[in-house]
Copies of this chain bind each other. A is one copy, B any other.
Amino acid sequence: MNSKENISQAVIRRMPRYYRYLGELLDEGIERISSKELSNMMKVTASQIRQDLNNFGGFGQQGYGYNVKYLYQEIGKILGLDETHKLIILGAGNLGHALANYVKFEKRGFVTVGLFDIREDVVGKKIRDIEIYSSDLIEEFIDTHEVDIAALTLPKEEANRVAQIVVNKGVKAIWNFAHVDLEVPDDVVVQNVHLADSLMQLSYMLSKKHTEE
């Protein structure tokens, strides 16, 4: 496999989508697929598919196409899904609840091991079998649970302070839903989900359509 060094963000953004489509093909019992068929299904060009996958060494065979199961597994490895990741959710509001309820994350190896909140009326409750702990216990919990990922589903005013706490305890990945850019060291990776930004992009596309009409 090639180095993952110079692979563009755009390619990385597309990989989970390949993974999803291949997973669906696998569920349907389909063993192999040509890049043309995959291209029709996914509405991207066959050349784009080949280019994207060539970043990781290819995986296709001339005249055969792709072995669905093999490609699914290899993309899974690229995405780090061959390992289990322990996740904590910081902020047990509606969004924290929604994340904790996504059973499908577990199938991909993302296991939520705890939620945390400052509000006493939610501490002690459970979502599925996942307990909501007091935020005072975050550090102790990380010390004893080998947490890989912290999801921040709390108000933006709290986000940087709480990010600091988990980073100091050695957490290297933050899934940030707070509408603020986090200040973290270079060895910590952050994936932002800024819902307001997403809504504004939609609004842009909508107003662009109106202008064209």
From known contacts A81-B200, A108-B199, infer whether A173 and B95 are also in contact, taking CB-CB under 8 Å. Answer: no
Chain B's nearest CB lies how many Å from the CB of A6? Answer: 11
Cα A161 to Cα B206 in complex, Å, equals 22
Copies in the complex: 2
> A198 at the A/B interface (Cβ < 8 Å)?
yes
State whether the Cβ of A102 lies closer than 8 Å to any Cβ in chain B.
Answer: yes
Name A151's closest neighbour in chain B (CB-CB).
Answer: B199
Decide if B149 touches A211 in the complex (CB within 8 Å): no
Q: Whose C-beta in chain B lies nearest to the C-beta of A173? A: B206
Given contacts A203-B85, A204-B78, contact A196 B104 (CB under 8 A): yes
B189-A206 in contact (CB<8A)? yes
Which residue in B97, B179, B191, B201 is a CB contact (below 8 Å) of A12?
A: B201
Q: Is A165 an interface residue (CB 8 A)?
A: no
In the complex, chain B residues whose CB is within 8 Å of the CB of A99: 195
A175 interface hit (Cβ, 8 Å): yes
| 8 Å CB contact of A204 from B43, B80, B194, B209 | B80
User: Which of the segments A14-22, A29-37, A59-67 contacts the partner chain?
Assistant: A14-22
Q: Does A208 contact B (CB under 8 A)?
A: yes
A141 within 8 A of B: no
Check A206–B108 contact: CB distance below 8 A. Answer: no
* Given known A-B contacts A94-B95, A172-B209, A209-B172, A16 and B202 have beta carbons under 8 A apart: no
Question: By the criterion CB–CB under 8 Å, are A209 and B187 in contact?
Answer: yes
Q: Which of B17, B109, B110, B207 contacts A83 (CB 8 A)?
A: B207
A118 contacts B by Cβ under 8 Å: no
B4, B97, B206: the one within 8 Å of A172 (CB): B206
Known: A17-B194, A98-B98, A189-B202. 6 other contacts (CB 8 A): A16-B194, A97-B98, A104-B196, A187-B209, A189-B206, A191-B202
- 17 A-B Cβ contacts within 8 A? A12-B204, A20-B197, A43-B181, A79-B200, A79-B201, A81-B200, A93-B101, A94-B94, A95-B95, A104-B196, A105-B196, A105-B199, A110-B199, A149-B206, A191-B199, A193-B193, A193-B195
